[in-house]
Structure 1
Amino acid sequence: MEKTIYIRMRNRVQVKPEESLLMKDIAQIIAGEEIYGQLAALQVLKVTPKDHIHIIDVMKIIKYITGIFPEYEVQAVGPPQTIIEVIYKKKGMSIPYFFLVWFLLFFGAALTIMNFHEDVSMQIVHQRLYWIMTGKEVAKPLLFQIPYSIGIGLGMILFFNHVFKKRLNEEPSPLEVEMFNYQQSLDQYVILHENKESVKHLDDH
């Protein structure tokens, strides 16, 4: 333990433009007290204004550390790379653009639901159910249509597990799970294509 440094690379680190990344920012470190402070303060990367994504490979970190502390052995656990994502200041959303997106999403969703109901003949189903339960034939069985419409809205709230920004419970919603899977796939793609150490071409020397 005395001559061993343990590092665990973080999966993703978000930084601001022109920020300096230290060793403690990209990895968890276990080392002796005599070198921990110096090791944690090592500068690994200086973000330039043109950067968007960086991949820091653990092999480069091990080489960097052993070059400064040659008498120590470096043991790496966890992810083999850290994705450095540069976060730029977001521009404020314009009001006309917000209402345009809201308009498209609202009416797009409404048309989708109406087309689905037309395909499955939902109104006829409601009419038939009303006739079975009451023995009367009506063109608009509001007794079923109104609760059904309210149920669609409540069902969407329960499905997405959010009311505006408030979460209903601690369980992730299906949308959050899909977003997580998408982010994992995106990270894997970035690692394979942005990390030059991951792919070796035949004409490389």
Structure 2
Amino acid sequence: MMENSIYLQMKHRLKIKRGDILKLQDIAHIIVPEGLKDLHEITVLKNTSNIEKKFFVLDVISVVRKIKRRYPDADIQIIGPTETIFEMEEQRKKASPLLFALVWLLLFIGSGLAIINFHEETSMQAMHQKIYWMMTGKMNSTPYIVQIPYSLGLGVGMVLFFNHVFKKRINEEPSPLEIEMFNYQQDLDQYVVLNKHKESAKYHDDP
């Protein structure tokens, strides 16, 4: 039985293009005996040019069924995920400089207003005046010596918090934004798995 043992691990998520024909080696990691090497070339998905939706799911049972059709006596050991999520790559349109500038301006104004409102609610100006009075013993309505370093520190703190300077990562630790995006991706994958199984059957290769 060891000579016919096949170890199969489905890839969790793949991006594909319309019209792609996927073989077993494309959608899973497999370990097979020397006599079963042709399993790598089994066609698993076809007709992907007809896919209308962005996501669809292939479960491991469909893959096992195809292997069993060719090698009925094979002992298949499944490791890891039991389905693969496919995401169709859409043709990206060239970004408009005007749209980029508009989005950047909206984000800049929105974040600026959020910071201003936060400082107003927490009486940050009065706090700076009090800090200046504690340091110098004098009252000053515009303590720039406190406000300017605070403003610079606010910007540096945001850079450290998000762990990026433009596209360059400061260190290997993931930022809170990346953690939230990861959690969102996990929730999205779970939703797709629960709702898309039936839609993938028509793209499987015939026996």
- TM-score range relative to shorter protein: over 0.9
**Cα contact 2:56–2:192 (8 A) shared by 1:** no
Q: Deviations over 1:12-58 (max 9, x none)?
A: 0111111111101110001101212x111111112125442220000
The one-letter code matched in structure 1 to 2:163 is N
Give the drift of 1:78: 0.4
Hey, what's the Cα distance between the residues in 1 that align with 2:154 and 2:92?
34
The match for 1:203 is: none
Q: TM-score, structure 2 length as denominator?
A: 0.92
Hey, what's the Cα distance between the residues in 2 that align with 1:33 and 1:84?
29
Hey, what's the Cα distance between the residues in 2 that align with 1:157 and 1:119?
24
The match for 1:201 is: none
Are 2:12 and 1:11 equivalent residues in the alignment?
Answer: yes
Hey, what's the Cα distance between the residues in 2 that align with 1:163 and 1:20?
40
The one-letter code matched in structure 1 to 2:33 is G
Q: Select the residue among 60, 81, 93 that pairs with 2:95.
A: 93
Q: Deviations over 1:68-124 (max 9, x none)?
A: 111211111100110011112210111111111001000000000000000000000
> Larger helix proportion, structure 1 or 2?
2
The match for 2:63 is: 61
Considering Cα pairs closer than 8 Å and 6+ residues apart, tell me whether 1 or 2 has the greater RCO.
2
After the TM superposition, list the runs of 4 or more consecutive aligned residues in structure 1 that deviate by more than 3 angstroms: none
Q: How many residues align?
A: 196
The one-letter code matched in structure 1 to 2:39 is L
1:124-139 matches, within 5 Å, as 124-139=126-141
The one-letter code matched in structure 1 to 2:14 is V
Hey, what's the Cα distance between the residues in 1 that align with 2:34 and 2:55?
33
Hey, what's the Cα distance between the residues in 1 that align with 2:51 and 2:66?
24
Q: Describe the shift of the 1:88–1:49 C-alpha distance in structure 2 as closer, same or farther (beyond 3 A).
A: farther
Q: TM-score, structure 1 length as denominator?
A: 0.93
The one-letter code matched in structure 1 to 2:101 is F
**Cα contact 2:25–2:40 (8 A) shared by 1:** yes
1:1-205 matches, within 5 Å, as 1-36=2-37, 38-46=38-46, 47-51=48-52, 52-196=54-198
Q: State the secondary structure of the residue aligned to 2:9.
A: strand
Q: Deviations over 1:171-198 (max 9, x none)?
A: 111110110010000000000011139x
- Structure 1 gaps of 5+ residues are 198-205
Of residues 38-47 and 99-108 in structure 1, the stretch that sits farther from structure 2 once superposed is 38-47
Q: Deviations over 1:127-165 (max 9, x none)?
A: 001001101111111111000000111011101111110
**Cα contact 1:66–1:73 (8 A) shared by 2:** no
- Structure 2 gaps of 5+ residues are 200-207
Hey, what's the Cα distance between the residues in 2 that align with 1:134 and 1:126?
12
